[in-house]
Amino acid sequence: MVFSCVDRHQRQANIWAARALRHQRDRRLFGKMEPIPMSDTQANEPRRHHYVPRCWLVGFTETGDKDGKLWVTDLHRRKQWQTSPGNAGFIKDFYRLTDEQLDPVLAEKAFSQVESEVAPILRNINQEHREPGVEEFEVLLYFIALQWARTPAFRPFVLNVLEVLARKEIGEALKTPESWKRALQKAGIAPEAPGADYDQMKKSNPDEYA
């Protein structure tokens, strides 16, 4: 199995993702989801965070089940090996949250609940050799959008976008001392807080915030 990205398929994925995002007003999928409980102990936390869901990977095995074997090809290291869905397409603690006020595996649990909705749909349309129904297709749109956004390759893109937006917002705030003061007040930051000095912020990167 080769995890690669062909331009044509990427463009189609982008289209599907956009459609799924437009369907976010329809909460039928997430309306079925149960409240996500906090983890009792760290020992109970899932550590293998699959960016390629196991319910999808089983379709690439010879037997079509979780105990089947599939082939994985690493194009960068030029290696190929056989493994099970549980041992492929994951990164340890990839979605783990560091905010102490949140369940550290909240994101992983949310993905798991979505996958529990998607798994029977993928299995049924594969076994019955048919197209998905209307409601099934809407669920798959959510899944495709999430899958597009949850991979390791997508994270640097998100961080870059956030950095650009943050720099733009700070640049706007640093136009004048008055605008910077208003921005600090809006953020709840005291003017005397470390790093809040207007002149120091302007000097930190004069070309960008000029």
Tell me the domain boundaries of the chain: 7-152, 159-204
- pTM for this structure? 0.58
DSSP string, 29-61: HHHTPPP-PPPS-GGGS--EEESS-HHHHGGGS
- Predicted confidence at residue 195, as pLDDT, reads 76
- Predicted confidence at residue 102, as pLDDT, reads 84
- Predicted confidence at residue 73, as pLDDT, reads 93
Closest C-alpha to 29, from 110, 129, 126, 123: 110
Cα(119)–Cα(165) distance, rounded to whole angstroms? 36
Secondary structure letter of residue 2 according to DSSP = B
- Predicted confidence at residue 131, as pLDDT, reads 94
Residues of the chain with pLDDT under 70: 1-43, 205-210
- Predicted confidence at residue 4, as pLDDT, reads 41
HSE on the CB side for 97, CA within 13 Å? 14
pLDDT digits (tens, 9 = 90+) for 50-69: 999 999 999 999 888 889 99
Cα(15)–Cα(21) distance, rounded to whole angstroms? 10
Residue at 126: amino acid letter = N
- Predicted confidence at residue 197, as pLDDT, reads 86
